[in-house]
Amino acid sequence: MPTHIFKESMDHDILFSFLQPICAVSNNHYIVNYESLKRAQFDEQYDNFIETIRPFYHLSKRKYLEPPMTYKRFLTIIRQICNYNSIPYKSIIKYAHSTSSVEYYIYFKDLSDCTLSPK
């Protein structure tokens, strides 16, 4: 179903196949953090992922896919795909040494038996 961001339907497996090798995996979710972005860029998986999802975006919304790629922009792309495919996720703010960073927990299993509270 088209939206304001996506012009055609995108399979959620595109996201999961991208996240599998770059994210820490728990029993029911992927942990997306800054290290995930760096791992994807180092392994050159990030560029392949962007080229895979580019045709699904409207021309006016492809600005999200253009360089420079920041962590904030990376999370925006992940969040857009999750919202479009109704994939549950949760954002967590982690504090370390007077700095904060956002982590996403992207759930890939049924959430009926688990809670969304951070551990």
Using one digit for the tens of pLDDT, what is the confidence trace for 50-99? Answer: 999 999 999 999 999 998 889 999 999 999 999 999 999 999 999 988 88
Compute how many other C-beta atoms are within 10 angstroms of the C-beta atom of residue 6.
Answer: 19
Contact, 12 vs 78, CB < 8 A? no
Q: What angle do CA 18, 20, 22 make, to 5 degrees?
A: 80
> pTM to 2 decimals?
0.84
Domain boundaries, the chain: 12-107
Confidence band (pLDDT; 50, 70, 90) for 118?
very low
Which of 35-49, 78-92, 98-112 bottoms out in mean pLDDT, i.e. has the lowest? 98-112
User: SS3 for 96?
Assistant: strand
Rounded distance, CA 107 to CA 86, Å? 10
Per-residue model confidence (pLDDT) at position 18: 94
Look at residue 1 and tell me whether its pLDDT is greater than 70. Answer: no
